[in-house]
A and B are shown apart, each in its own frame.
Chain A
Amino acid sequence: MYPPAEVWWRPIDRLERSWVIIAFVWALVLTAMMPLWFVVGKQNVPVTTYRTTPERFRETVEAFAAEHQVGERAGIPVVAPPPGGDAYVYAQRFSFYPILQLEKGEEYRIHVSSLDVQHGFSIQPVNLNFQIVPTYEYVITLTPTESGEFQVVCNEYCGLGHHVMTGTILVNE
């Protein structure tokens, strides 16, 4: 509150110095963890991104759905992409299209984008979350490690019907 008296550039107390050193070492640990996990961890943030347009992406998704459709649920096609291959999902207010049917333990490159505003891609109850930004095609390379029916929830506010926006991912053994 008051201007410091006389000379304030004094040596630091021993305990205070110890704390600064400990805190700095902790900061280094925090810094090192991310590259370390990048190398050895199996859960890393996808990077691959392409530019796209809503029209082009819709066509790609519809072509993909037509080619690999295996069923239908409430008017939305259930699509089984080839293991190791590409899958395409678009988000638009207030749904995801199509429903994916995956194999447990297989890797898929899932391309997601939006036809209108920003959305969220939140796989529940696994709890993996990504941002969907229109005009950007985000490639999420995913390997399900459990089987069952999972929900995709939109977790970015996208309009007054945001809370009813949902999609499905099925994972077979």
Chain B
Amino acid sequence: MTLTSERAEYRVCPVTQFKVDLQSEALIKVNAVAAVVALTIGGIAAILIALTRWEAVGLLPPEWFYRLLTVHGTNMLIFWIVFFEMAGLYFGATILLDARLPKPAVGWLAFGLMVVGALFVEITALTGNSTVMFTAYEPLGSNEASPLFYLGLILFAVGALVAVGLFFATVVMARVEKTYEGSLPLVTYGLVVAAIIATYTLLSGAVALVPPFLRTIGIIEHVDPAFYRNFFWSFGHPAQQINLAAMVAIWYAMGVMTVGGSPVSEKLSRFAFILYVLFINLGSAHHLLVDPGLSFGFKTFNTSYGMYLAVLGSMIHAFSIPAMLEVAQRRRGFTNGLFEWLRKLPWREPGFAALAVSMFVFGWIGGVTGVTMGTEQIDMVAHNTLRVPGHFHAAVVGGTTLAFMGFTYYVIPLVFRKRVKFLKLATWQPYLFGLGISLVAVGMITAGIQGVPRRTADIDVVREVPGTVHLSLAVVGIGALIAFTALCMYLAVVLASVFTGPRVEATSLALVQPMEPVPAAAEGSHVAPKGTFVIVLVFLAFFAAFYLANWWMLGRTWFVS
């Protein structure tokens, strides 16, 4: 049964046998290109501001530091990530479901709104007409932000909402037209979760940003700054939880594409995604923990995601994904000891390298530090110090951005139908990027523990700081240089592959190190993921040690209540 009389044109992917709607494919391409453009702008800003915070270098004057910090935040946290997610949504709803895209014109409208919105923000930010940071805390923007800045953000959010609506319509239509059998694939399921979170996130963003916009054009006079903070963070933090859900979906996809196998328990993995939908938005209260006006009960319930159930969701994925790989490897015959399966993974395959490094940096650095400083009382020794960007650089850059980068290496042959060039660079890039970002994050976290504020052009002008602070900031600068080098490697691979060379059809999923298929005879046999169990226990021990050390640190400071 078809719902409308529209016809779609398809090609069939020779490697995966998926049907590819050509309109959807075109939308995937333009959104991916816009994402990479935003990543490039944000990346150039990143290296300049990192070399300013490295006090020994002190590259930029304060005015340019704050200006480019605004550019960096908006490009990286909004434009790069959301454009890429839109590409991911089209991929999950059409290609993975063998479905067509209803009303492609709506997709183009959404893309147009997002591009126009992003341009408004880029222009006002780069010309110094909205140096208010990504957060634009009220009433800072009343003098310092142009109406176009707010309008740009609103148009971008509306465009993204339209695209999310089209995604839901596509998934429903695929169901009605029976383009796939049984349940949704787990990757698409994860993307549905990302889209649900995106819907209420983007609506909150509109509620937060419309009043300041109306104020800048003179329709209303006053915006309550605390009200703004609450709604802004219902947009600002969950916007990164859309990434989280999309990133986890992509982790599963990259695991299957580079190693093979299937989720050990579809039931549990889906349950973990449901926990995200139900609880993750509460986490936006992390930003309000030391704000006036809110009660202990409000802060604790929200910051704990209602008893840390969203954290439980992440800890389930932290087991399920390595377990999926371990089971596939053991069925291949790598059964010696606890970790032979681990050594025999395709470490030279770019997608697998990105998956492994992304999971490590996200969990061990980003996750652990985020949960710790999101604890109500501990936030008093962390709020607005460099610990905060330390946490989210590990989570969003080391985690999400690296996962998305790894995934693009497979989008190039399968969607752009070009041969990936410079494969050696692609193999090394995830490791180098992970190393650089880990240094950035650890440098920021150690500086933050010593009280260094975030978003500050120069800390030496107002107080003398110990040498260990300068050491931490130097680690940030060196890490940023390494990560920037890896970003350039990524851009070189992507640009050279996409814009040069003839169109070729892909012949296999793997780029560098193909794995033997899992023997059909072993499918369904019971295999215990013992190695994974050991890894997650070590992770938990590290988590607990870091968490408890922070309570100890808090207990030694001045009394406050």
Chain A residues packing against B (C-beta within 8 Å):
1-5, 8-10, 12-16, 18-20, 22-24, 26-28, 30-31, 33-35, 37-38, 41-47, 49, 107, 116-118, 120, 122-138, 140-146, 151, 153-166
* Given A4-B262, A45-B299, A122-B385, CB of A145 within 8 Å of CB of B182: no
Across-interface contacts of B536 in A (CB, < 8 A)? 19
CB pairs A–B below 8 angstroms (14 shown): A3-B183, A8-B183, A10-B265, A13-B265, A118-B137, A127-B449, A128-B558, A133-B229, A153-B463, A155-B455, A156-B455, A159-B140, A163-B462, A165-B462
Whether A141 contacts B561 by the Cβ 8 Å rule is yes
> Which residue of A9, A124, A135, A166 is within 8 Å of B225 (Cβ)?
A135
Q: Report A23 CB to chain B, min CB distance, Å.
A: 4
- In the complex, the answer to whether A43 meets B559 with C-beta atoms within 8 Å is yes
Complex Cα gap A15–B544 (Å): 20
Q: Given A20-B316, A141-B560, A163-B461, A45–B290 Cβ distance below 8 Å?
A: yes
**Cross-interface CB contact of A31 among B290, B296, B308, B544, cutoff 8 Å:** B308
Interface residues of B in 531-561 (CB under 8 A from A): 532-533, 536-537, 540, 543-544, 547, 551, 554-555, 557-561
Contacts A144-B558, A153-B462, A162-B456 given; does A130 touch B140 at CB 8 Å: no
- The answer to whether A43 touches B528, judged by C-beta atoms less than 8 angstroms apart, is no
Instruction: Digitize B168-207: 1 where CB-to-A-CB distance is under 8 Å, 0 elsewhere.
Output: 0000000000001111111100000000000000000000
| Residue of chain A at shortest CB distance from B252 | A1
Q: Quick one: which of B257, B292, B453, B559 contacts A153, CB cutoff 8 A?
A: B453
The minimal Cβ–Cβ distance linking A136 to chain B, given in whole angstroms, is 4
Chain A: which residue is nearest B271 at the CB level? A20
Choose, from B82-90, B369-377, B475-483, the stretch at the interface: B369-377
Question: Contact between A129 and B290 (Cβ–Cβ < 8 Å)?
Answer: yes
Partner of B293 from A22, A136, A163 at Cβ < 8 Å: A136
B358 within 8 A of A: no
A155 to B530, CA, bound (A): 46
Q: Please report the C-alpha to C-alpha distance between residue A155 and residue B309 in the assembled complex, in whole angstroms.
A: 31
Report how many residues on chain B are interfacial, defined by Cβ distance under 8 Å: 101
Please name all residues of chain B whose beta carbon is closer than 8 Å to the beta carbon of A8 when the two chains form the complex: 183, 266-267
Q: Which of B185, B292, B295, B379 contacts A4 (CB 8 A)?
A: B185
A13 to B454, CA, bound (A): 45
Question: B461 — which chain A residues lie within 8 A by C-beta?
Answer: 163-164
* A125:B451 contact, CB within 8 angstroms: yes
Q: B456 and A135: CB pair below 8 A?
A: no
The docked-state distance in angstroms from the alpha carbon of A134 to that of B532 is 50
**Distance from A20 Cβ to chain B, minimum over Cβ atoms (Å):** 6
B379:A155 contact, CB within 8 angstroms: no
Cβ contacts under 8 Å, A16 to chain B: 264-265, 268, 319-320, 323, 529
In the complex, B330 has a CB within 8 A of chain A: no
Residues of A within 8 A of B133 (CB): 157
Complex Cα–Cα for A143 and B557 (A): 10
Contact B140 A1 (CB under 8 A): no
Contact of A160 among B131, B263, B294 (CB under 8 A): B131
Contact with A along B303-319 (1 / 0, CB 8 A): 01001110110011001
| In the complex, B253 has a CB within 8 A of chain A | yes
Selected contact of B377 from candidates A44, A140, A145, CB within 8 Å: A44
Q: A4-B266, A162-B62 are in contact. List 13 more A-B contacts (CB 8 A).
A: A1-B187, A15-B323, A22-B540, A27-B312, A28-B307, A44-B377, A44-B561, A45-B376, A122-B384, A122-B385, A126-B557, A135-B224, A164-B461
With both beta carbons as reference points, the residue of chain A lying nearest to B384 in the complex is identified as A155
Q: How far is the CA of A20 from the CA of B268 in the complex (A)?
A: 9
Across the interface, do B292 and A137 meet the contact criterion of CB distance under 8 Å?
yes
B471 proximity list for chain A (CB < 8 A): none
The answer to whether B529 touches A13 (Cβ under 8 A) is yes
B383 beta carbon closer than 8 Å to chain A:
yes
Q: A155-B456, A163-B458 are in contact. Are A142 and B304 (CB under 8 A)?
A: no
Residue B22 at the chain A interface, CB threshold 8 Å? no
Chain B residues whose C-beta falls within 8 Å of the C-beta of A161 in the assembled complex? 62
Asked whether any CB of chain A lies closer than 8 Å to the CB of B66, the reply is: yes
> Which chain A residue has the least Cβ–Cβ distance from B543?
A26
Chain A nearest CB from B244 CB (Å) reads: 17
For residue B144, CB closer than 8 A to chain A, the reply is: yes
User: Which of B181, B256, B288, B560 touches A142 (beta carbons < 8 Å)?
Assistant: B560
Q: Which chain B residue shows the least CB distance to A112?
A: B292
Do A133 and B457 form a contact, CB below 8 Å, given A1-B256, A34-B375, A126-B558?
Answer: no
Given A15-B530, A142-B560, A162-B455, A127:B450 Cβ within 8 A: yes
Is the CB of B211 closer than 8 A to any CB of chain A? no
> Which B residues are in CB contact (< 8 Å) with A120?
383-384, 453
- Return chain B residues, CB-CB under 8 Å to A130: 290, 380, 383
Q: Shortest 7 CB-CB distances between A and B: which pairs?
A: A155-B453, A138-B292, A27-B308, A8-B266, A143-B559, A155-B384, A127-B451
CA A131 to CA B454, docked complex, whole Å = 13
State whether the Cβ of B291 lies closer than 8 Å to any Cβ in chain A. Answer: yes
In Å, the complex CA distance between A165 and B362 comes to 34
Q: Which of B267, B289, B462 contacts A166 (CB 8 A)?
A: B462
A30 touches B268 (CB 8 A): no
Distance in Å: Cβ of B214 to nearest Cβ of chain A: 19
